[in-house]
Amino acid sequence: MDTVEELSKEISEKTWSGQFWGSQGAVELERRRFNLSKREGGEASAFGAASSTYYAAAGNAYARFKKAPWQFWWAYRAFILRGYAVWLSDQIELKKGVTNMTPDELDVRQSILRRVKRYKEAKKCVHEALGRKNVARHTKALLLIGQIDLEFNKPSDKYESVGDSARDRARSITQIESWLEQAEKCAYEVRSSNPHQAARIFRNCAMWRDRLNQEGRAEVLRRQASDLADIRHLKDQRLKIDARL
């Protein structure tokens, strides 16, 4: 019988290689790990790990749908898996509380919460994690990307004048670009030591450069992500790069 550690290693490998589906895919292995972790008394950590796997699987399913919209079943699968991820993520916060969650757990949670537009809760997770000492470089970059999304989607004051609104948006763009620079710097720093996460960071930064209409910089970053995905056989990242996610 596999141990939690053995299953965790296999799930990680299959997640990066995009092997989520089938009887030996990451989704099924996660179900086994979750049940085993709960039996061994690690329920809180089990919820966090499972939310991460299901969220990644939902992203993979959605990328497949985006590349081939006629395969509508992938959209349904993405919706169901995202729902599981949200529920599991809620459970870990209920059991541990934001202040007792690790930076990686907080990063996964803020990513999930942003996807379902629970921005206030996501912001709390981001601020808690970024306020910690000794946060891993790749985790900091992913949290900064989350912070960029929160800034981009923050509600505007309906009583604000057009001029004030324009100035506020300009300040937001300046802040977003500063955070992007920091995230990109982290990606270059971990490119050799953690190429899997570097590819993920480069891909997300490229998406944001596109949204800022900085196509040239976006293409440079996307090429970095593509090269790492191809060299390291990161098929999940390759799929998401091609789907422009």
pLDDT (tens digit, 0 to 9) for every residue of the chain, 245 residues total? Answer: 689 999 999 999 999 999 999 999 999 999 999 999 988 877 888 999 999 999 999 999 999 999 999 999 999 999 999 999 999 999 999 999 999 999 999 999 999 999 999 999 999 999 999 999 999 999 999 999 999 999 999 876 544 555 567 778 888 899 999 999 999 999 999 999 999 999 999 999 999 999 999 999 999 999 999 999 999 999 999 999 998 87
Whether 92 and 144 share a structural domain: no
- Alpha helices in the chain, H assignment, sequence order: 4-16, 26-39, 43-67, 73-96, 103-115, 119-130, 137-152, 162-190, 195-211, 215-231, 235-242
Domain that holds residue 186: 136-245
pLDDT score recorded for residue 101: 96
| Cα 170 → chain centroid | 26
Taking the model in full, what pTM does it have? 0.92
pLDDT score recorded for residue 160: 55
In a domain, 196, yes or no: yes
In a domain, 128, yes or no: no
In a domain, 221, yes or no: yes
| Contact present, 241 and 225 (Cβ < 8 Å) | yes
Residue 114 three-state SS: helix
pLDDT score recorded for residue 157: 54
What are the Cα distances from residue 26, in Å, to 39, 142, 223, 230, 236?
Answer: 20, 22, 27, 21, 12
> 151-176: b or e for each residue (b if 16 or more CB lie within 10 Å)?
eeeeeeeeeeeeeeeeeeeeeeeeeb
Whether 94 and 148 share a structural domain: no
Whether 240 and 176 share a structural domain: yes
| Contact present, 137 and 103 (Cβ < 8 Å) | no
Closest CA to 108 of 134, 130, 85: 85
One-character DSSP codes across 127-159? HHHHTSSS--HHHHHHHHHHHHHHHHTPPPPTT
Whether 7 and 58 share a structural domain: yes
Whether 243 and 140 share a structural domain: yes
